[in-house]
Structure 1
Amino acid sequence: MSRRNFDPDTKVAIVLEGLKGNTTIAEVCRKYQISETLYYKWRDKFLEGGRRAFISPENDRIKELEKKIEELEKIIGRQTVQIEILKKTF
């Protein structure tokens, strides 16, 4: 059996057809001659992509900046300790 390639738009249409609930997943899979396992993989990818659409890029940027601040605070802390050691040495 040759492997068929579905374009992204077709995959979305198939997943949406299954999500609508008008027919069973088994019927959708038979209609498009795909396995239920493949359908559920596509569905999971589709839903994950939808979840990412609702995550604000600002939140990602804020997390990135908070991590950078934490790294810089650690560097400042180490340098402060080194300065105090040098003051005591001289």
Structure 2
Amino acid sequence: MRRKWDAKTKAKIVLEGLMGGCVNELCRSHDLRPGQYYKWRGQFLDNCHQIFERQPSTMTDTELAAENEELKKLVGELTLELTSGKSTR
């Protein structure tokens, strides 16, 4: 039966091997085939640079709702300004 490994566990196992642990002993202790370890290690090394790349900030639902309300208010003010010919700000 195949096991599902979560990302944190995979990273811990790969890091143990990269820090000088014996890969065969490491695999034996985690009941893992060495080929699987080397596959994970390859994925880890190919993607480890991404941790230093700047990720776009994600807004929470409350922040999005607040921004939405502010934009609606601004659209309303600009609509009034355009229709009445006077500045409401």
With the shorter chain as reference, the TM-score category is 0.5 to 0.7
Aligned length: 55
Which of 33, 36, 59 matches 1:35? 33
Q: C-alpha separation between the residues in 2 aligned to 1:7 and 1:53?
A: 18
The reply to whether residue 49 of structure 1 matches residue 13 of structure 2 is no
Q: C-alpha separation between the residues in 2 aligned to 1:55 and 1:10?
A: 23
> 5+ residue gaps in structure 2?
55-89
2:5 is matched by which residue type in structure 1? F
Residues 62-84 of structure 1: CA distance to partner in whole angstroms, max 9, x if unpaired?
A: xxxxxxxxxxxxxxxxxxxxxxx
Q: C-alpha separation between the residues in 2 aligned to 1:4 and 1:29?
A: 14
Cα distance, 1:50 vs structure 2: 1.3
Residues 9-67 of structure 1: CA distance to partner in whole angstroms, max 9, x if unpaired?
A: 0000000011110x2100110011111100000000000111345678xxxxxxxxxxx
Counterpart in 2 of 1:14?
13
TM-score (norm 2): 0.55
Q: C-alpha separation between the residues in 2 aligned to 1:7 and 1:55?
A: 23
Question: How large is the Cα RMSD of the aligned pairs?
Answer: 1.8
Q: Name whichever structure is richer in helix by fraction.
A: 1
The percent of aligned pairs where both chains have the same amino acid is 43
> 5+ residue gaps in structure 1?
57-90
